[in-house]
Structure 1
Amino acid sequence: MKSNYTSLILPPLIVFALFLFLWQGCVELFSLPPYLVPSPYRVLKIASENYSTLLIATLLTAAAAVGGFLLSFAVGTSVALIFSQSKIVRQSFYPYAIFLQTVPIVAIAPLIVVWFGNGFFSVILVSFIISLFPIITNGTMGLLAVKKEWLDLFLINNASASQILFKLRFPNAVPYLFTGAKISSGLSVIGAIVGEFFAGYGAKYHGLGYLITFTSGQMKTDYLFAAVFMSTVLGLVFFGGVSLLSSYVLQRRGVANEPS
């Protein structure tokens, strides 16, 4: 078990160390100005100097992303359950689910601010919208991907529609839902940051999206790099958390792998 964790963690750490070394080398070799490309040391220094601000911003963005992700998972699963029960409903409304994926979120976010105002709720809505589609599509796929012989067995035993749905279709869809959840976990962070570009939170506290916009406009590139790095870490934490939960649940259910 220890060797497995080492094999998973060590290669990315080596790549990251090489990346930092290459980054520092390019800055020194080409004498890049700090306002264009700051060195890793400058980024680390500004991050340590503004640790509390970055931490509060990360926690605010994380809270909005969690809210958007949980809302998208609940709504997406419910919609997938409805889609699995009616072909007419699925064919009628599925194109509108695709609409959520095809329309740029930067075009929707200003409308949400107009309708619901600035603040935390609007940021959650943006995160929810951008992370909803993978749950719907993967959940619907899993609910419909039931083996015919299993369905026939339920029908022969006079199973009701609700029994077929919750004892056959839904358990079969769990791996698919986790696949969608892993995709949505990263999208929820992106949605929260984009929402903060437009909605913000207030005069006192700001999320990572606001810090990215502010530092970019002020040409504080080292601070910008620090905010982007925290955004990346947040996305990785979200994805890793959902992946660990997925592995735990699927192992408990005796499922070896998620659907590809």
Structure 2
Amino acid sequence: MSTPFPTVSAVAPRTAPAAPAAKKAAPVRPTRAPLLSQPRVQRILYPLLVGVVLIALWQGLVTGLELPPYLVPSPWLMLQTLVTDWAALGASLWVTIKITLLAFVAATVAGVLISFLFVQSKRIETALFPYAVLLQVTPIVAVAPLIIIWVKDPTASMVICAALVALFPIISNTTLGLRSVEPDLQSYFQLNRATRLQTLVRLRIPSALPYFFGGLRISSGLALIGAVVAEFVAGTGGSGAGLAYQILQAGFQLNIPRMFAALLLISLTGVAMFVLMAWLSRVALGSWHASES
């Protein structure tokens, strides 16, 4: 007697072995770049390394060739002179910084106001912009004696001379930025019947900020140059003397280390002003503009 085939229901299903519970993957922590490979550190480290190499070469050449101090002083002697003559050099540095800052502020305010005037009418810009170029190309050395004669106060005359040197980059860059507006956004403002003041404040000024801060970087250095040139022309001495007078006096006395120390202070002041303008630009534009990202 043959045995019947078992039915499907009679066959016990084979259960597959339970898969082991998957372990939770640990969160991947972003690997932090080494300190020396970070861009901010490189911006500071690389120029410092180049400066150290140049100063070492300078010191080595002066020492090896036994150059006299009245010809080329060594960096060490220049630093010693800076420390010993700091009473006179520090006071002159403050005078030069004061003239530079006043001229820079005056040039910024005047340049922005002139740019606002230019952007209101193309005819006004066409009629007046050549005179702004004329101020830029005229040597301040030729104009400074007249300004010093016309303006009785020596400090005010030097501020005017330095402001004239620093004025054109503010006018040129700000005017360019105020006109560099996207046509679609300008059409949108016109479609909504925005007034000139609303268009200026909400559209043109934000678009002009990168150009404006670029002009500030240039004008900060030009204001310092204008202040030093004005001091050379004015030739004021005494308590109101700037670093230019210290350079002239050191040249007459063949005190070359003191001359180099004054030049070092001027250079450091220019670098500090440029770094300050770059920091202000990063603070104002870093969160929304691609130029500071």
Identify the residue that residue 140 of structure 1 maps to in structure 2.
Answer: 175
Cα deviations by residue, 1:215-248 (Å, 9 ceiling, x for unpaired): 1222111100000000000000111101101110
On the 8 A contact 2:135/2:168 being kept in 1, the answer is yes
Q: Does the alignment pair 1:209 with 2:244?
A: yes
Q: Does the alignment pair 1:25 with 2:60?
A: yes
1-structure distance, mates of 2:273, 2:235: 21
Identify the residue that residue 128 of structure 2 maps to in structure 1.
Answer: 93
Identify the residue that residue 164 of structure 1 maps to in structure 2.
Answer: 199
Q: Does the alignment pair 1:151 with 2:186?
A: yes
The structural deviation recorded for 1:204 is 2.4
TM-score w.r.t. length of structure 1: 0.94
The structural deviation recorded for 1:192 is 0.9
Higher relative contact order (CA 8 A, sep 6+): 1
On the 8 A contact 1:61/1:207 being kept in 2, the answer is yes
- Mapping for residues 15-54 of structure 1, pairs under 5 Å: 15-54=50-89
On the 8 A contact 1:119/1:202 being kept in 2, the answer is no
Cα deviations by residue, 1:143-183 (Å, 9 ceiling, x for unpaired): 11111111100000011111112211111111110000000
Question: Hey, which bits of structure 1, 4+ residues long, moved more than 3 A?
Answer: 1-5
Q: Which moved more, 1:196-205 or 1:223-232?
A: 196-205
- Mapping for residues 1-260 of structure 1, pairs under 5 Å: 3-117=38-152, 119-252=154-287, 254-257=288-291
Q: Which moved more, 1:82-91 or 1:227-236?
A: 82-91
Q: Could you say which structure has the larger radius of gyration?
A: 2
The structural deviation recorded for 1:138 is 0.3
Identify the residue that residue 28 of structure 2 maps to in structure 1.
Answer: none
TM-score w.r.t. length of structure 2: 0.84
2-structure distance, mates of 1:245, 1:156: 35
Structure 2: tracts of 5 or more residues without a match: 1-32
2-structure distance, mates of 1:98, 1:195: 20
1-structure distance, mates of 2:235, 2:274: 24
Identify the residue that residue 5 of structure 2 maps to in structure 1.
Answer: none
Q: Indicate the percent of aligned positions where both proteins have the same amino acid.
A: 37
Q: Which moved more, 1:34-43 or 1:200-209?
A: 200-209
Structure 1: tracts of 5 or more residues without a match: none
Give the structure with the higher percent helix: 1
2-structure distance, mates of 1:251, 1:41: 40
